[in-house]
Amino acid sequence: MSSNKLRELNGICGLHQLTYLQLRSNVLQGEINPCLGKLHHLTYLDMGNNFLTGAIRQNLLRNLTQVEEIHFGDNNLTGTFDFSSLSNNSKLHSIVLSNNYQLEIETELVRWAPLFQPEYLNLSNSIVNKRSNGIIPSFLSAQESLSGIDLSVCSLQGRIPSWLLLYNISSGFLLLHGNNMDFLDISNLGVNTTSSLEVLDLSDNKISMQMPYNFGSIFPYLKYLDMSSNMLHGGVPSLAEATSSLQVLDLSFNMLDGKISPELVGNASILTSLLLSHNYLTGPMPPFHWSLGELIHLSVENNQLSNGLPPLLMNCTNLENLNVRNNHLSGVVPVGLLSFPNLGALLLGGNRFHGVIPWDICLNDHLHFIDLSNNQFSGEIPGCLYSVFWSELPMYYEDDPSIGNVTERRKTSVEFMTKGESLTYMGMPLELMTGIDLSMNHLSGTIPSPIGFLRQLKSLNLSHNKLVGSIPDTFIYLLEMESMDLSHNHLNGSLPVELGNLSFLSFFSVSHNNLSGEIPFESQLCTFSRTAFEGNEKLCGEIIDKTCTVNLGRSGDSDGEMHRLLSTDTMDTPLIYWSFVAGSFALGFWGIITLLVWNTACRNRFCSLTDGCMSKMGWFLVP
């Protein structure tokens, strides 16, 4: 009965022999009907993803002693639910109360010993143990059959006990991200006592500790480790013991320092995501002697890494996202790197790379983000960019699909400078976004016209270079363009009038160039402030409050300028009109007088002509 439009139970409570009730994804509203407590033979109850409100009555579930699975997640339940009301439900093996954001779940109000041994517990996005200082539910210490716990975003705080990591989760997952946990107790773990966890997500907490050097030996079966956005310090530990299974390692947004250990991962790694960004790491960047043929995401941005791109990086041909921004990396970008068949985001900005932009960038048909900004690249922009065809960008995931429903499959985010600010793209916007940022380099030559044929391009930043020539007329075809920055170059010529037809353009700057002519006012360009055009002495127009003259007209020929003047309403002003007539008469009159005074021959001829005319006029006047 799932995925229908049921609004009420419609006599279901009268089916006393009912054992299986699936009401997921309907439009059930109001409180959970207490009559369900009379269905004593019920083994499966799923009312998830509805619009249920109110509290869960304690007697409702206490009477369902045969129930094995309870799913009330994705509703609007409120009030306080005392977990001890489930103490007699000995057959329970799956409990889901997740995504009830105002539901308070208490496990410590009374002393109780559960008879159940669940395999799966999901209380995420609820409020757990608000009255007990947000501690980890203590009843979990008596559980021996758990294969998965999700207590993410539950307002938990304090320490993560070692018993939760050691005995209580067998070959499963523990998700605690988005809480206020401050310490991971692994004091009782070591060589002889290891954890069988496969997935450990402790991200977005306040864990302040130094990761032990033997972290990999404590968790030898890990497939997914995410401890990002904490306060970890010290060096990056060795995880070589876990490399036979480790697929995702995320230690980004911490305070880790020192060099990355060559023993971080082993030689036979199946790692797909290595994320170490936003730390204080120094020395060369990975990979070292590792074999990372399966690597998809490599992010080490915002560290202090030095030297060049490692040669073994060329073996990572499955890369989809390479982010090394804001380090101290130098050298040239090796030919072949940019043509990796699945590379969708190439982020090298904020380093000291030099040389020309490799031509093989034109061989890639997946690149949606190109950031080479703030480096020392020189030479011309490759004119072959027109051959880039952006196919659909695959959804980026930080975990391998083989992990399945063990983890929340989180989409990778990409931070990109556009519209004058740094924006983060993820989900559908990430799939649709395309951008090129070559700003703050030493690029010279003209802007290649073929860039105008990149019709899907949404952001283009070529500012702070040494580019010359005019703005290509082909830019009028960039109909999806949202942000264009060509400022601080040596561009000349006029603004293509058709740029005003780019209706999605919300950020535009051509400031500090050598552009000339009139800025079209009746277009999209009039929506930008005068700062977008400043530093161009020969530009004029209403937008910058500078009147255009004949010499500053948009057209270079005088006929076109005269046509512009005559086609306006300038002569409609009476004062200007009569001034023009009087000036023309005075100019003609005094010109003739001057000629007669200074030229004797012309004066004699003029007098003879005048005498002849007067004689003829006298002859006609004689009666």
Domain CATH for 201: 3.80.10.10
**Residue 29, helix vs strand vs coil:** strand
Residues 377 and 283 occupy one common structural domain: no
Segments of 438-594 assigned E as strands: 442-444, 459-461, 468-469, 483-485, 490-493, 507-509, 514-518, 538-540
Residues 288 and 356 occupy one common structural domain: no
Residues 274 and 368 occupy one common structural domain: no
pLDDT at 227: 95
Q: pTM of this prediction?
A: 0.83
Ordered mean pLDDT values, 10 residues apiece, the chain (623 residues): 69 86 90 88 93 91 90 96 90 95 94 87 96 93 88 96 76 92 84 81 96 84 93 88 81 95 76 94 86 89 95 89 96 88 92 93 84 97 73 47 42 80 79 90 95 91 97 93 96 91 93 93 84 94 85 42 42 55 65 60 57 50 44
Residues 299 and 340 occupy one common structural domain: no
Residues 542 and 432 occupy one common structural domain: yes
Integer Cα distance of 491 and 511 in angstroms: 10
Q: Is residue 577 domain-resident?
A: no
Q: Is residue 623 domain-resident?
A: no
- Helical (H) or strand (E) element with 595: helix 574-598
Q: Is residue 28 domain-resident?
A: yes
| Domain final residue pick, 273, 298, 319 | 319
**Count of C-beta atoms within a 10 Å radius of residue 537:** 11
Q: Are 165 and 186 in contact (CB under 8 A)?
A: yes
pLDDT at 557: 42
Q: Structure tokens of 27? A: 């439009």
Cα dist from 483 to 65, 305, 409, 528, 600, whole Å:
62, 31, 31, 12, 71
Residues 373 and 456 occupy one common structural domain: yes
Specify the residue for token string 């499966």: 44
Q: Is residue 12 domain-resident?
A: yes
**Residue 461, helix vs strand vs coil:** strand
Q: Which of 422, 439, 435, 520 is nearest to 482 (CA)?
A: 435
**Count of C-beta atoms within a 10 Å radius of residue 259:** 12
Residues 421 and 529 occupy one common structural domain: yes
Query: What are the beta bridge partners of residue 76?
Result: 53
Instruction: Return the sign of the alpha-carbon dihedral for residues 211, 215, 216, 222.
Output: negative
Counting the structural domains of the chain, the total is 3
Residues 467 and 506 occupy one common structural domain: yes
| Domain final residue pick, 287, 319, 351 | 319
- Helical (H) or strand (E) element with 465: none
Give the domain range for residue 538.
332-391+412-550
In sequence order, which residues have a C-beta less than 8 Å from that of residue 421 and are 6 or more positions away? none
Please write down the HEC assignment for all residues of 389-420: CCCCCCCCECCCHHHHHHCCCCECCEEEEECC
Instruction: Return the sign of the alpha-carbon dihedral for residues 444, 447, 450, 454.
Output: positive
Q: Is residue 584 domain-resident?
A: no
Q: Is residue 449 domain-resident?
A: yes
Query: What are the beta bridge partners of residue 256?
Result: 234
Residues 375 and 484 occupy one common structural domain: yes
Q: Which of 306, 466, 459 is nearest to 368 (CA)?
A: 459
Crossing angle of helices 600-621 and 574-598, in 10° steps, is 110
Q: Is residue 51 domain-resident?
A: yes
Integer Cα distance of 451 and 382 in angstroms: 10
Residues 474 and 348 occupy one common structural domain: yes
Residues 338 and 261 occupy one common structural domain: no
In sequence order, which residues have a C-beta less than 8 Å from that of residue 594 and are 6 or more positions away? none
Q: Are 493 and 471 in contact (CB under 8 A)?
A: yes
Q: Which of 460, 454, 513, 512 is nearest to 485 (CA)?
A: 460
Q: Is residue 325 domain-resident?
A: no
In sequence order, which residues have a C-beta less than 8 Å from that of residue 138 and are 6 or more positions away? 107, 108
Q: Structure tokens of 213? A: 């050097």
Segments of 151-307 assigned E as strands: 157-160, 169-175, 180-184, 199-201, 224-226, 233-234, 248-250, 255-259, 273-275, 280-283, 297-299, 304-305
Integer Cα distance of 369 and 438 in angstroms: 11
Omega into 287 within 30° of 0, i.e. cis? Answer: yes
Residues 429 and 531 occupy one common structural domain: yes
pLDDT at 270: 85
Q: Which of 241, 327, 322, 253 is nearest to 287 (CA)?
A: 322
Q: Are 174 and 164 in contact (CB under 8 A)?
A: yes
209 burial via Cβ count (<10 Å: 0-12, 13-18, 19+): middle
In sequence order, which residues have a C-beta less than 8 Å from that of residue 238 and are 6 or more positions away? 213, 214, 215, 216, 261, 263, 264
pLDDT at 396: 44
pLDDT at 255: 97
Q: Which of 357, 384, 504 is nearest to 450 (CA)?
A: 384
Cα dist from 389 to 383, 392, 601, whole Å:
14, 10, 78
- Helical (H) or strand (E) element with 51: strand 51-54
pLDDT at 576: 57
Question: In the 8-state DSSP scheme, what is residue 444?
Answer: E
Integer Cα distance of 77 and 102 in angstroms: 7
Angle at the Cα of 424 from the Cα atoms of 488 and 348, rounded to 5 degrees: 55
